[in-house]
Structure 1
Amino acid sequence: MHTATAGNHKRIALSVTTDKVPLVSLTATVADIEKVLDTEKIDQFETINYIYILGADRKLKGIASIKEIFRNPKNTVISKIMETNLITLRAHSPQEKAAMLAIKHNIKAVPVVDPEDRFLGVIPSDKILEILHREHVEDVLYEVGVGRFTNPVVELIHASALEHIQKRLPWLIVGLLGGILAAYIVSGFDHLVEELILLAAFLPAIVYIGDAVGAQAQTIMIRSLAIDKDLPIGNYALREVVVNSFMGLIIGAFAGIASQIFWGNIVLAFIVSTSFLLTILLSSVIAILLPLIFEKVKVDPAIGSGPIATVVRDILSILIYFTVASIFLGWV
């Protein structure tokens, strides 16, 4: 098993790569492969889902599944039946990319190559599952404002109280500062609340919908980026605008009609419906921009789905709501 040395290299593909896999040349036959997989030799391999075919320069030329190989006559040359449309990963790529490639292309192991495309080994299925589980736990922790553990699966249970405080307190402070700023903004619109007291009643709903829509859109965005680094942002953003415009119109109309029915205030109905629509649209824009910004500065986009995104969405939702209220109340 290859290992990484520096601490910041522990999460690269090479550190979970094994070279204990069946290797054959381009001229090998099915009969030759049977000998490679002889019962006395098979224990030396860590994974045998695929046979890896190498050229003289140790470059990966093809892959063939065991099932596909033994469907053919024993004299069949492997180069005739191997898959040449290869899915590979560079040695220093993030481990998470290996897991995403395995899922996207439905493969049980991911080949790892050096910058010259020489074969180094594969990331087997058990390591792929381990990576997926660890990344999932980390993303969930990021979303609720818990900092990174080296090995979250183990450390969540065994870390000391001090370590937990160090990982959890900083983002709570960020959230508190955001809450104080939000309270300051609300206090600047107290004259509107005095003029129409029902504005205060809808504020929690406006903030909640902004957070809910943003969380949905941002989770989808982050997962999409993880699976496809070359995500067509223009098409993706257009789809999100269409989806969220539709949802905003429905939720805004429903909220406006409900406020008119229960409180009989047409001005409030217009304020609420317009605010819901604009809040949903802006939340979807933030959901796209924040992960892209984090990706650009080489920071895990999942960090942007936690307290930072919540604070930004909450403050902008409040500003939208009271700005819309100021405009409508200024007309009457």
Structure 2
Amino acid sequence: MRVPAERGDLLGSSDAALHHASTNVPTAGELTPVDEALDEMRGQRFDSAAAVAVLDGRHLVGVATIEQLLSAPAGACLRDVMDASPPVVAPDTDREHAAWQAVQRGEPGLAVVDDDGRFRGLISPQQLLTVLLQEHDEDLARLGGFLSDVEHARSTSVESIKRRLWHRLPWLLIGLLGAMVSAVLMTAFEAQLSADLAVAYFVPGIVYLADAVGTQTETLAIRGLSVGVGIRRITGREALTGLSMGVLLGAVMWPLVAVMTGNVALALAVSVAILGASTVATVVALCLPWLLHRLGKDPAFGSGPLATVVQDLLSILLYFAAVSVFLG
């Protein structure tokens, strides 16, 4: 029996099956007597001795569990007791898929082989259990938002007031800065406001509708992530939904504003602004949580305030741009 002493090569990603596989496991040829295999295992230290990898040179030809070895009749060799068609995975197989494959087959371990059938290591039962526990934690974390793990979610929920302020206050300060920028924007369009005071009436409504559309999109995105649906899969349809919502809301607002103010041009500006704001708010609500997550920030605190600031500023800009075009 050959007993490698070192752990197998690892792929760069911890999500790959090879990252969890070890070559420090019992190995032997298929014609090795079972008694001899057991004798050679005594006194050796393995990462796992739950199964013996049966090799022909460097190629895997079967796997024999310790239970099969102990129950083998006298004089049997490994070829007589091994599973000649064990479940195997490629080195770059996702770790969760690998773990579930082992569970479905009821195997105590899972062999990793490359495209040429060469043995790259065995994933032990302990590693399989660790993978399933980590994936379970990640799934629970996604149900609560974008936190990286359940422990992080728990610590965030019970952290001190000082830590709560540290996590939240920076985003709210950004929101305060955005509010000041909004005030500056309003002063930049003072001429339009002075010419027709009714222009100011619809700023809160346009901002509110943009925030509401964006909040709906954020909620949908979080629900999708909690069940494994990525942002990219919903971006196209959600953006078209935001555009459609803008068209419908704008169509409803046009006659209402026209009747209320008696100004058809202002009604058209409001409708166009709502159309643009709804579309932009949807895109912002999709992009910001994804971006914060990729940057390693906690979107549970940052995406809402930051998205609100961006949506408000863009909505005001779109509205006054439309007013400038249609009202001169």
Q: Which residue of 2 aligns with 1:119?
A: 123
- CA distance 1:309–1:114, change in 2 (3 Å): farther
Distance 1:78 1:215, change over 3 A: farther
Name the residue aligned to 2:138: 131
Mapped to 2, the partners of 1:18 and 1:248 lie a distance apart of 49
SS in 1 for 2:202: helix
Query: Per the alignment, in what secondary structure is the counterpart of residue 299 of structure 1?
Result: coil
User: Measured at CA, do residues 225 and 192 of structure 1 come closer, stay the same or move farther in structure 2, by a change above 3 Å?
Assistant: farther
- Structure-1 residue corresponding to 2:228: 227
Number of residue pairs matched?
253
Q: Select between 166-175 and 126-135 the one with higher mean Cα deviation.
A: 126-135
Change in CA separation of 1:152 and 1:294 when aligned onto 2, cut-off 3 Å = closer
% of aligned pairs identical?
26
Q: Pairwise CA RMSD of aligned residues?
A: 5.0
Show structure 1 runs of 4+ deviating over 6 A: 52-55, 77-87, 111-115
Q: After TM superposition, list the pairs within 5 Å mapping 1:277-292 onto structure 2.
A: 277-291=275-289
CA gap of 1:314–1:119, structure 2 versus 1, over 3 A, is: same
Aligned to 1:151: 152
Q: Relative to 1, partners in 2 of residues 1:87 and 1:18: Cα closer, same or farther, differing over 3 Å?
A: closer
Q: Give the Cα separation in 2 of the matches to 1:313 and 1:323.
A: 15
**Could you tell me the TM-score, scaled by structure 1's length?**
0.57
Does the 8 Å contact 1:89/1:112 carry over to 2? no
Q: In the TM superposition, what is the alpha-carbon distance from 1:299 to its structure 2 partner?
A: 3.3
In the TM superposition, 1:117-266 aligns within 5 A as 118-120=122-124, 121-122=127-128, 123=130, 128-137=135-144, 139=146, 151-157=152-158, 159-221=159-221, 223=224, 227=228, 233=232, 237-266=235-264
Change (3 A) 1:215 1:124: same
Helix, strand or coil at the partner of 1:316: helix
Question: In 2, are the aligned partners of 1:89 and 1:113 still within 8 Å (CA)?
Answer: no
Mapped partners of 2:93, 2:195: distance in 1: 64
Cα-to-partner distance string for 1:47-102 (whole Å, 9 max, x where unaligned): xxxxx99776899x99xxxxxxxxxxxxxx97779697999535xxxxxxx6xx79
Structure 1 residues 226 and 183: CA distance shift in structure 2, 3 A: farther
Contiguous gaps of at least 5 residues in structure 1: 1-11, 20-24, 26-51, 63-76, 91-97, 143-147
Cα offset for 1:162? 1.9
Residue in structure 1 matching 2:299, options 281, 297, 302: 302
Change (3 A) 1:83 1:256: farther
Q: Are the equivalent residues in 2 in contact too, given 1:267–1:329 (CA < 8 A)?
A: yes
SS state at 1:151 partner: helix
Letter in 2 for 1:174: I
Q: Is the 8 A contact 1:259 1:269 kept in 2?
A: yes
Correspondent of 2:94 among 85, 89, 95 = 89
Tell me, yes or no, if structure 1 residue 322 matches structure 2 residue 325. Answer: no
Shift of 1:316: 0.6
Are residues 1:273 and 2:271 paired? yes
Work out whether residues 134 and 153 of structure 1, in 8 Å CA contact, stay in contact via their aligned partners in 2: no
* Cα shift at 1:254: 0.8
1:203–1:318 contact (8 Å) kept in structure 2:
yes
What do the CA deviations read for 1:258-311 (whole angstroms, capped 9, x no partner)? 223334332221111111001112223333444565566x43583663322221
Change (3 A) 1:323 1:155: closer
Q: What is the alpha-carbon distance in structure 1 between the residues aligned to residue 205 and residue 196 of structure 2?
A: 17
Q: SS of the residue aligned with 2:215? A: helix
Q: CA deviation at 1:257?
A: 2.1
Is contact 2:140–2:150 with CA below 8 Å preserved after alignment? no
> Is the CA contact 2:210–2:277 (under 8 Å) kept in the aligned structure 1?
yes
Structure 1 residues 78 and 310, CA, compared in 2 at 3 Å: closer, same or farther?
Answer: farther
> Residues 260 and 268 of structure 1 are in contact (CA less than 8 Å); yes or no, is this contact kept in structure 2?
yes
Whole-angstrom distance in 2 between the partners of 1:313 and 1:183: 15
- 1: CA distance, partners of 2:54 / 2:205: 63
- Paired AA for residue 94 in structure 2: L
Unaligned 5+ runs, structure 2: 1-13, 22-26, 28-50, 64-81, 105-109, 115-119
TM-score, reference length from structure 2 = 0.57
Distance in 2 between the 1:265 and 1:295 partners?
45
Aligned to 1:35: none
Q: Structure 2: how far apart are the matches of 1:84 and 1:310?
A: 46
Asked whether the equivalents of residues 210 and 279 of structure 1 are also in contact (C-alpha less than 8 Å), the reply is: yes
1: CA distance between counterparts of 2:189 and 2:322?
A: 11
